């Protein structure tokens, strides 16, 4: 979170010397790569905020009371957030997890109403000051009279990594009782609500299949074949070749593939990092963070994959999460609902 969308990794080292991010940190006051001032406050994508002010989504519909934090030079996307706090998309995943625990199943028509309620709450039910294009576009369409299930907006960044953040708690819950094809269909339906893009939905299918393969993998079996197959959903991605190159992670995540959010670059990047650090969750997460760019949403997906691959997590990082006790309670409720001890 503190170095989300830093596109020059050197800036991370300068703000967090000498080795970059090594623990939970608060958001700095200055963000050297921020283009938040270019992002529209009335719809998805970019646009002149001053001209849009009369019909703001940001500040009036969502992120109430936080409009003044947009439009400032070098403003941090996650202004004022403390060390270990969750960004909006991570809260989105938490809300999905809570909904599943409460209802025991998933219905898109029910979830979209819960999503609207959570996003428009006053005061806000999350600490973030930024909402991705998908959220702004969704509520712009909702304000224009679209049906809730038809509010997904199409912009230049619709096929993006942020769409996958809320998939894991849904897919893993449904995989406890449903066949893979049915789970993929539910997850497609879920993602389409906010990200209607066919290329992205193919990645969703691949991600869910990968989660299933890692969940069912025999102890000690390699995860590399499953990761390679998943990465190949982006044409031309050959994971074994990426792993064999000797020029370092930044050559793959930053040179071969962009640091930006676009799924055609961020999905191969996640698969590469998961394959390289599949047995070391802490190293995977810190390495991803210090590469910069779309590291927050990459990190959410990467943490899921490496956690399943290694069968472990980093207790020090987990315990440093803000509000860890409440998060632990929510995860326990989810586990008790879908993976009770008598089932394991």
68 and 56 Cβ atoms separated by less than 8 Å: no
pLDDT digits (tens, 9 = 90+) for 265-290: 999 999 999 999 999 999 999 999 99
SS3 35: coil
CA 85 from chain centre, in angstroms, equals 14
* Residue 44 banded pLDDT, cuts 50, 70, 90: low
Say if residue 344's pLDDT is above 60.
no
Q: Is pLDDT of 39 > 90?
A: no
How many C-beta atoms lie closer than 10 Å to residue 23's C-beta?
11
Instruction: Give the range among 53-67, 84-98, 325-339 with minimum mean pLDDT.
Output: 53-67
- The stretch 211-215 carries a mean pLDDT of 97
Structure tokens at 251: 């050559």
Residue 10 CA to chain centroid, in angstroms? 24
CA dist., res. 311 & res. 302, Å (int): 13
In which band, very low, low, confident or very high, does the pLDDT at 71 lie, cut at 50, 70 and 90? Answer: confident
What 3-state DSSP class applies to 206?
A: helix
pLDDT of res. 17: 97
Contacts of 94 (CB under 8 A, 6+ apart): 86, 169, 327, 330
Give the relative orientation of helices 224-231 and 198-216 as an angle to the nearest 10 degrees: 170
The Cα–Cα gap between 198 and 204 comes to 10
3-state secondary structure of 262: strand
User: How far is the C-alpha of 80 from the C-alpha of 48, rounded, in Å?
Assistant: 24
Q: What percent of the chain has pLDDT over 90?
A: 90
Size of the chain, expressed as the number of residues it contains: 344
Q: Does residue 6 have a pLDDT over 90?
A: yes
In terms of Cα–Cα distance, which of 242, 220, 215 is closest to 231?
242
Over residues 225-247, mean pLDDT: 96
Q: What is the pTM of this model?
A: 0.95
How high is the mean pLDDT of the chain?
94
The answer to whether 236 touches 205, Cβ cutoff 8 Å, is no
Are the C-beta atoms of 6 and 293 separated by less than 8 Å?
Answer: yes
Report yes or no: 236 and 267 within 8 Å, Cβ to Cβ.
no
pLDDT in tens, 188-204: 999 999 999 999 999 99
Handedness of CA 267, 272, 273, 279 (dihedral sign): positive
- Name the nearest CA neighbour of 211 among 273, 303, 304, 106: 304
pLDDT of residue 221: 87
Average pLDDT, stretch 316-325? 96
Buried b (16+ CB within 10 A) or exposed e, 159-181: bbbbbbbbbbbbbbbbbeebebe
| Closest-CA residue to 294 (of 192, 159, 199) | 159
**Percent of the chain scoring above 70 in pLDDT:** 96
- How far, in Å, CA of 267 to CA of 235, rounded? 11
Residue 50 is predicted with a pLDDT of: 47
């Amino acid at each position: 979170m503190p170095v989300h969308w830093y596109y020059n990794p050197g800036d991370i080292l300068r703000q967090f010397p000498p080795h970059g991010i090594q623990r939970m940190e608060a958001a700095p006051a200055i963000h050297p790569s921020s283009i938040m001032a270019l992002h529209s406050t009335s719809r998805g994508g970019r646009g002149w905020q001053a001209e849009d002010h009369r019909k703001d989504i940001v500040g009036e519909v969502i992120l109430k009371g936080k409009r003044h934090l947009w439009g400032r030079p070098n403003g941090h996307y996650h202004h004022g957030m403390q060390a270990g706090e969750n960004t909006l998309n991570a809260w989105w995943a938490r809300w999905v997890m809570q909904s599943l625990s409460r209802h025991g199943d998933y219905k898109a028509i029910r979830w979209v109403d819960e999503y609207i309620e959570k996003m428009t709450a006053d005061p806000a039910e999350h600490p973030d000051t930024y909402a991705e294009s998908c959220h702004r576009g969704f509520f712009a369409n909702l304000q224009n009279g679209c049906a809730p299930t038809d509010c997904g907006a199409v912009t230049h960044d619709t096929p993006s990594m942020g769409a996958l953040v809320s998939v894991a708690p849904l897919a893993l819950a449904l995989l406890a009782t449903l066949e893979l094809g049915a789970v993929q269909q539910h997850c497609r339906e879920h993602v389409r609500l906010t990200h209607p893009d066919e290329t992205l939905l193919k990645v969703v299918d691949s991600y869910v299949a990968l989660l299933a393969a890692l969940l069912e993998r025999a102890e000690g079996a390699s995860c590399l074949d499953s990761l390679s197959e998943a990465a190949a959903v982006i044409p031309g991605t050959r994971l074994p070749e990426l792993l064999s190159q000797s020029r370092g992670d930044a050559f793959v995540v930053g040179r071969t593939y962009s640091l930006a959010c676009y799924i055609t670059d961020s999905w191969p990047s996640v698969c590469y990092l998961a394959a390289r650090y599949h047995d070391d969750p802490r190293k995977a997460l810190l390495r991803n963070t210090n590469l910069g760019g779309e590291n927050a949403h990459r990190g959410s997906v990467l943490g899921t994959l490496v956690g399943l691959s290694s069968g472990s997590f980093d207790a020090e990082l987990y315990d440093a999460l803000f509000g860890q006790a409440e998060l632990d309670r929510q995860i326990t409720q989810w586990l008790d609902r879908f993976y009770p001890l008598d089932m394991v």
